[in-house]
Copies of this chain bind each other. A is one copy, B any other.
Amino acid sequence: MKKYCFGIDVGGTTVKCGFFNTDGEVLEKWEIQTRTENNGENILPDIAKSINEKIKERQVNKEDIAGVGIGVPGPVNENGEVPCAVNLHWGYKNLVKEMEEMTGLKTKAGNDANVAALGEMWRGGGVGYHNLIMITLGTGVGGGIIVNEKIITGSHGAGGEIGHAHVEDDMEIACNCGNKGCLEQFASATGISYLARKMMEETDMPSVIRKENVSAKTVFDGVKEGDELAKKVADRFGYYLGKALANFGCVTDPEVFVIGGGVSKAGEVLLDYIKPYYQKYAFSACKDAVFALAKLGNDAGIYGAARLVLE
């Protein structure tokens, strides 16, 4: 019976590291710098070094360690290879093989958004559920699909790329992905800011959100103050997201939708705007799905990565 595992979340500027027991308690968290120079050739050796030092420092027997789970910002195939990860300056990388050689520990890897979903299932907003869809509302919109406690990776590593579902034919501006009318353009922090600016232009209604740099926070703060225009913007956001989640729901029929990312800091009020549209558009059998806020914040990645290696 293994006692410990590592959960590693590789970001573009820092690598978050966690040392866990196999019950899912984090015993220690730390960060190292992500050195992206020279095609990010130091990133994996730096992580391996940090893990090996931690094992020595804590005088842990390697045989008691289940392994190392790693989440990376890019697609990861079933063999643990990364075809390309832009933010890390990586081209092809045989991540699992390299890490296993450098640490002597079993390694598993996954896409960071998918891994975060697994973390929320294990120790966050989705505890007690086995089938969930997580949606992360940050600068963009990320997602992770969990079925029977396993990540749906997809045949091109694009499982859970739900930020790029098409939700609006009448969108002239292109998404970062190249398409027009993606969910991300309306439901991310950037998207909510876009909706606010657009709706402010369309009306003369006085509002507390009429600020130069109106953000998702401005909007939901406005909602809490009872501002009518803020509520209209939030309603439009809820329409796009609730309807999209209803359509994802008829694919994998999850027990719970977990909403995370920076925008979710607005709290329960966010769900008040999403759920009515979800329930309006969802297939009858799916209408009673649970909605929950993510709980682990920036730690979802290390929790999920740790869970990955315990599968």
Contacts and interface: CB of A to CB of B under 8 A. Distances in A.
Interface of A: 75, 130-131, 145, 147, 152-162, 164-166, 177-179, 243-244, 246-255, 280-281, 283-286, 288-289
Question: How many subunits of this chain does the assembly comprise?
Answer: 2
B250 A281 contact: no
Contacts of A244: 247
A159 B252 CA distance: 5
A248 B246 contact: no
B131 A250 contact: no
Nearest to A169: B243
Contacts of A164: 250, 283-284
Contacts of A280: 179
Shortest beta-carbon contacts, A-B, top 5: A154-B253, A164-B283, A158-B285, A158-B253, A156-B285
Given A147-B147, A255-B155, A250 B285 contact: no
A156 B284 CA distance: 10
Contacts of A281: 166, 179
Contacts of A243: 166
A284 B178 contact: yes
A159 B253 contact: yes
Contacts of A165: 246-247, 250
28 contacts: A131-B154, A145-B251, A145-B252, A147-B152, A153-B253, A154-B253, A154-B254, A154-B286, A155-B253, A155-B254, A155-B255, A155-B289, A156-B285, A156-B288, A157-B253, A157-B285, A158-B250, A159-B252, A160-B250, A161-B286, A162-B250, A164-B283, A164-B284, A166-B247, A179-B284, A248-B251, A251-B252, A252-B252
